[in-house]
Amino acid sequence: MSDKRAIVRNRRAYHDFEISETYEAGISLLGPEIKSIRAGKSSISEAFASFKKGELWLQDMHIPEYVNRGYVTHEPRRPRKLLMHKRELRKIEATVTRQGLTLVPLQLYFVKGRLKVEIGVAKGRKRHDKREALKDKEARKEARAAEGRRG
């Protein structure tokens, strides 16, 4: 998708979790919330997704109140419903409950004017796993630098 531009990224998710699969979901928002996100004032670093009665909800995503909101207001950390096909939801729910995984938002972006959330099926990393990941990342970075000097 060439018209996909990220508004908010959750860089910490790639450090704290091992992401196995990703899914795209729509999100149900109020007018002032979408305006606040367009202004670049939102955070998904502490957010997670969970199932309630067969529906997927995004918890702890912070969207501050829009300055020029008028009389409509919203709670900054309220749960927000994620919009996906039922077939996808059943598949994700089965995977998450069976394997004890978690759902983490990776990024928010617009596709044809509509806000989308990229959700990752993730497994938490231990401290030593994080160190290993950092070492691997550093080794890849050094290899690319050496290749660049050679080429």
For residue 64, the model assigns a pLDDT of 84
Length of the chain measured in residues: 151
Q: What digits encode the pLDDT tens for the residues 15-66? A: 788 888 899 999 988 878 888 888 877 888 888 898 999 899 999 888 888 7
Per-residue pLDDT tens over the stretch 117-134: 999 998 887 776 677 777
Strands (E) in the chain, as ranges, are 5-9, 17-27, 48-52, 55-59, 80-83, 102-111, 114-124
Measured CA to CA, the distance from residue 42 to residue 44 in angstroms comes to 7
**CATH tag for 5-124 (out of 2.40.280.10, 1.10.3720.10, 3.40.50.620, 3.60.21.10):** 2.40.280.10
- Tell me the percentage of the chain whose pLDDT exceeds 90: 21
- Give residue for tokens 């990941």: 133
